[in-house]
Amino acid sequence: MTDTRLLPVLPLDSDVVLPGMVVPFDLTEAETRAAVESAQAKPQGPTVPGIRTAPKAEVLIVPRVDGEYAEMGTVATVERIGRVPGGKAVVVLRGAQRAHVGATGDGPGAARWVHAETATELPAGEHGKQLAGEYKAVVLSVLQQRGVWQMLDAVQELEDPSALADLAGNAPYLDLAQKLELLRTLDVTTRLEKALEWTREHLAELEVTDTIRKDVAEGMEKQQKEFLLRRQLEAIRKELGELDGSGEEDDYRARVESAELPEHVRKAALAEVDKLERTSDQSPEGGWIRTWLDTVLEMPWNTTTEDSYDIAGARAVLDTDHAGLDDVKERIIEYLAVRKRRVDAGAVVGGRRSGAVLALAGPPGVGKTSLGESIAKAMGRKFVRVALGGIRDEAEIRGHRRTYVGALPGRVVRAIKEAGSMNPVVLLDEIDKVGADYRGDPTAALLEVLDPEQNHTFRDHYLEVELDLSDVVFLATANALETIPGPLLDRMELVTLDGYTEHEKVTIGRDHLLPRELERAGLAEGDVTLTDAALSRIAAEYTREAGVRAANRTIAKVLRKITTKVALGEAELPVTVDAAELETYLGRPRHLPESSLPVSTQRTSIPGVATGLAVTGAGGDVLYVEASLSDKETGGTGLSLTGQLGDVMKESAQIALSYLRSRGAELELPVGDLAERGIHVHVPAGAVPKDGPSAGVTMTTALASLLSGRVVRADVAMTGEVSLTGRVLPIGGVKQKLLAAHRAGMKTVIIPQRNEPDLDDVPAEVLAELDVHPVASVREVLDLALAPAATPVTQAA
C-alpha cells in the first residue's frame, strides 16, 4: 500500500542521498534553511499516547541534474540541528525511504512543497541474498583497503539486502549518475548487481594502485637505504684509511662519472663499480676489479693528436732522418696527402678505415725500425714500438682473461695507453719472428688488428669492450716474408727495402752514423773527420751487407782507436781519416771483389765453378756453385749434391744435368762419358741451408764449364731458373741480387729476360756500374759467362 505525503523539497545538485544515509547539510544555504524551516512549520499530527517525543520533521531530498528535478527522491528526517566547532549552523538528515516526486502543493514557509508517494521496492529472493553476502564481503575489503576501520562493525551488523545495496550511496568512487541510477532502481537484486559490479571494479583499481604504491615505496626505500649505506661505507673507508695511514681511497664511481668515456665503456665501468662496492675488502676479486678500472680510466678514449698536413715539411723530415728508401717515403706522403684532401673537402677524419697498415720488409740494418719514429714525427703523431720477436702466446696480442692471476691487456692496448692517444704510429717490430705453440698462434690474433675492415671493433680479452683501432697507423717490420702467414701478409701493404747502394752508405755514414758515434765517444763535432773515400772503402772492403750496422760498428771502432791514441798522447785532435789510413785503425780489408784478386786465387780460376746470386734474410748475396767429375776407375755414377740444398735446388741440379745430356751435341760439350763417371755438385757455406730455383742457370753454367774445360769469367754473376728445354725462367728479388753483385764487385750480371721490368726498381748508380744482360736461353748464358777456351784466363776489363 502506497503512502502519499506533502513534503518540502530540499534540492541537491552534486550528490544523491539514499535511504539509510546520514548526511549533514549547511544551514547557511538558502534552499536548505527554507526546506528545514518549512518542515518544522508544518502542523504535526496528534502525539501518540505514551510517547513524549513529537514526530520528527521530514523533507524530500530530490537530486537536481542540469536544473531539472529527478522523478525520484528520498524522504529524510531532521535528526539534529546545531553548530559545528567552527560556529557554522548545520542540520543532520537521515534518509528513510524512496518516494516518487508528485504534483506541487501548498505549505508554509519559503520552500517548494510536493506530494511524495512512497515507492514500493521489489524484495530480494535467494539470489539477491547471495548477492548481498558477496557485496558485503567486497565492501568490507574496500573498507580495509582504505583503512576505514570505524565502519567495519556497522557493516558487519547489516543483514537487510536493500540496506546493504544502499550503502553504495556513501561510496566516494561512484559518480552522480551511478548513484542516481541506484536511487531509481526499485528491484533490490538488480541494485545489488550494479553496486557489486562497480565496487569490484573499484577494488581491482585499489589493488593495482596499492601494488604500484608499494613498488614505488620499496624502490624509494631501497634507494634511500642504498644512499645511506654508501655514505656510511665511504665514512668507514675514510676512517680506516686514516687509521692505516694510506689516505683517502679513490672513489671509482666519481672517477668513472667524471671521466670522458664512450657510452658503452661507461656502462661497463659502472657495472664493475657496482660489483666493487658489493665486494668484500678481503675478496681478491676487489683487486682485480680495481686494476681493470684503473686500466680503463687510463686509456685515452677521446684523446687524439692532430695530424701535420705540411706535406713538404713531412717529406723534408723523412729525407733528413733517412737516406734512400724512396718507396716507403712516397707511401707515407701519399697517406698524408689523401688525409689533407679529405679535411679540405670537409670529410670526417679519424673514422673507420682511415688508418694504414704497412709492412716494411728487408734485410737487417736498413733502418726499418728507426723509420717508424721518423714517420710519426713527420705526421705529428705519438710513436710506440711493440717488439714481437719470440712471442708465442696469443694472449700477448689479445690480452688475458681477467680470471687469471696477473692478467694484463694485450700489447696493442698497452701500446695505445703508453702513447696516450687513439691514433699513434704503432711499430710491430720483427713480425716474422712470431712463433706458435700450444698457447695459440699470435699471428692469427693479429689478423683482426691489422685489418682496416675489422679493427674498428677490436675487442681485447682483458678489457672486453670495443676499441677502435681504425685510425692507428700500423707499421710491421720483417726480414723474411716466407715466415709470415699468407692471410696476415694479405692485410698489409708491402713495401720492400732492398738495401743501400755504396753511395747511399757514404751519405748515411757522413750525415748520421759519424755524428752519433762522435757523441758516444765523447768527441765534439769536427774532432774526427772521415772522408767520403774512407767511408766508401769501409762500405766496399771492410763490410759487405745490405744495411749499415756493420759500417756503424766499424766507424765506432775507428773513433775508439783515435780516442785511445789521443789519451796516450800519440795523436792530437782534430784528426782526418782518409781511405789509405784505414788500415792503421782497422787492419787489412776483409772483403775484396773476386775480380780484383790475382788469377791464381780467384774461385772461378778453374773450370766447374760459377757465381750465382741469391736472396737471404740478410739481403742479397753471391753464391758459388762448384762441380766436379769422378774418375772412371774410382768414382761411381750418378749425381751427388752437397751443401744443405733444399728439394727445389736439388731438382734444379737434376734439370741442369738432364738438359746438358740431351743438348750436349748442340752445345759442343763432351757428354758421352757422363754415364760412366759420377758428377758432384757442391754449394759452399755448407752449414747454411739453401733452396730455390734461381740457381738453375748457375748450376748449368758450372756443369758446362766443367765439361768444356772453359772457366767462368770472374766478374760475371747470374740468376735464373732453367727448364728442361733450356729456357731461362723469371725469378724474384732482382733488385736485392743486383745490389749484392754490385757490392761484390761484379761487372756483368745475367738475368732472365722476363725480369727486365724489375730493373726499373734498381738505383741508377748501380745500373751505371753493371752490365746487365737479360737472356732467354741457356746458350746465351754460356756465350756470356764462359771464357774462350784458347784464351788464357785474365781479369775482365
For 586, which DSSP code? Answer: H
Candidates 637, 710, 642, 699; CA nearest to 670 is: 710
547 is in an annotated binding site: no
What letter represents residue 424's amino acid? Answer: P
DSSP 109-136: SSS-EEEEEEPPPBPP-HHHHHHHHHHH
The runs of H, that is alpha helices, within 454-586 are 486-490, 502-508, 514-520, 532-537, 549-567, 582-586
DSSP state of 437: B
Residue 745 has φ and ψ, to the nearest 5°, of: 85, 15
Number of H helices, E strands in the chain: 26, 25
Residue 366 in marked binding region: yes
Q: Is 762 annotated as a binding residue?
A: no
Query: Which SS3 state, helix, strand or coil, does residue 627 take?
Result: strand
| Cβ atoms within 10 Å, residue 722 | 26
The one-letter code for the residue type at 323 is: A
Residue 664 DSSP one-character state: H
CA distance to 269, 291, 301, 464, per residue, from 264 (Å): 9, 19, 11, 11
Q: Do residues 523 and 559 make contact, with C-beta atoms less than 8 angstroms apart?
A: yes
Please give the Cα distance from 608 to 702 (Å, whole number).
Answer: 5
Any binding-site annotation on 363? yes
C-alpha dist (Å) from residue 526 to 12, 439, 536, 549, 569: 119, 54, 19, 23, 19
Crossing angle (nearest 10°) for helices 778-785 and 647-667: 80
161 labelled ligand-binding: no
Catalytic residue, chosen from 162, 694, 705, 708, is: 694
Question: Is 574 annotated as contributing to ligand binding?
Answer: no
The vertex-472 CA angle with 466 and 478, nearest 5°, equals 115
Radius of gyration of the chain (CA): 54
The three-state secondary structure class of 626 is strand
List alpha helices for 358-432, DSSP H: 368-379, 395-398, 411-419
Q: From residue 251, give the alpha-carbon distance in Å to each of 227, 259, 293.
A: 15, 12, 11
Q: Are 494 and 484 a contacting pair, CB within 8 Å?
A: no
| 694: annotated active-site residue | yes
- Dist. CA 786–CA 704, nearest whole Å: 9
Q: Which amino acid is at 701?
A: T
Residue tagged active-site, from 42, 505, 735, 737: 737
Q: How far is Cα 244 from Cα 449, in angstroms, rounded to an integer?
A: 45
Q: Which three cell numbers stand for residue 387?
A: 717488439
Q: Examine the residue annotation and report whether 737 is marked as an active-site residue of this protein.
A: yes
- The DSSP H or E segment spanning 154 is helix 152-157
442 cis-preceded (ω within 30 degrees of 0): no
Residue from 341, 379, 408, 394 nearest 472 by CA: 379
Task: Tell me how crowded residue 486 is: count the other CB atoms within 10 A of its CB.
Answer: 7
Q: Among 429, 431, 426, 428, which Cα is nearest to 473's? A: 426
Q: Which of 496, 472, 493 is nearest to 383 (CA)?
A: 472
Sign, Cα dihedral of 204, 205, 208, 211: negative
Q: Are the C-beta atoms of 426 and 386 separated by less than 8 Å?
A: yes
Residue list, annotated binding site: 362-369
- Show which residues are catalytic: 694, 737
Residue list, annotated binding site for ATP: 362-369
